[in-house]
Amino acid sequence: MITTLCSAQTKKENVDAATFKKLIDEKKSILIDLRTDDELKAKGFIKGATQIDFLGTNSETIISRLDKKKTYLVYCAGGGRSGDCAELMKTQGFTHVVNLAKGFDDWKKKGFEVELKK
C-alpha cells in the first residue's frame, strides 16, 4: 500500500514494509534509521542504514544539511518519528521522502532481514 502526499516540490510517501524493501533493493535511495543508539542495540537495524537519532538535539541540523535532491527512505520504531521527519524534510524542500509507515517493528514482524549493532 502506498499513500502519496505531494507539494509543489516534495513527493512524500508512506509505504508498507514490502514496498520499502523493494525500494531498498533498487539501491537508488539513502536509508536513514531515526532511532536511538539504545533502540539499535536492542533490536537491530536494516542493513545499509545511516543512523540519525531524531530525538537528538542536533537532528534537525543534520537533516537540513543532507542533499535535498536525493531520495530518502526513513524509518523509526513504529512510524511516528519517521512520519514527523518526513514532514520536516517536506517543509525543508527535499525532493522525495519515503516513510516506512508502520516502522521497524512491523519490518521485523514481517520477517525482513535485520542486522545487530556490535
Q: Give the pLDDT band (50/70/90) at residue 42.
A: very high
The pTM for the full model equals: 0.90
pLDDT, tens only, 47-76: 999 999 999 999 999 999 999 999 999 999
**CA angle, corner 61, sides to 58 and 66, nearest 5?**
130
Q: Is the Cβ–Cβ distance between 20 and 107 less than 8 Å?
A: yes
What structural domains does the chain harbor? 2-109 (3.40.250.10)
- Is the predicted pLDDT of residue 4 greater than 60, yes or no? no
Rounded-to-integer distance, Cα 7 and Cα 56, Å: 27
- Is the predicted pLDDT of residue 29 greater than 50, yes or no? yes
Rounded-to-integer distance, Cα 85 and Cα 53, Å: 11
Helix (H) or strand (E) holding 19: helix 17-26
* pLDDT for the residue 6: 46
Across the range 11-31, mean pLDDT stands at 96
Q: Give the pLDDT band (50/70/90) at residue 11.
A: confident
Q: Is the Cβ–Cβ distance between 48 and 31 less than 8 Å?
A: yes
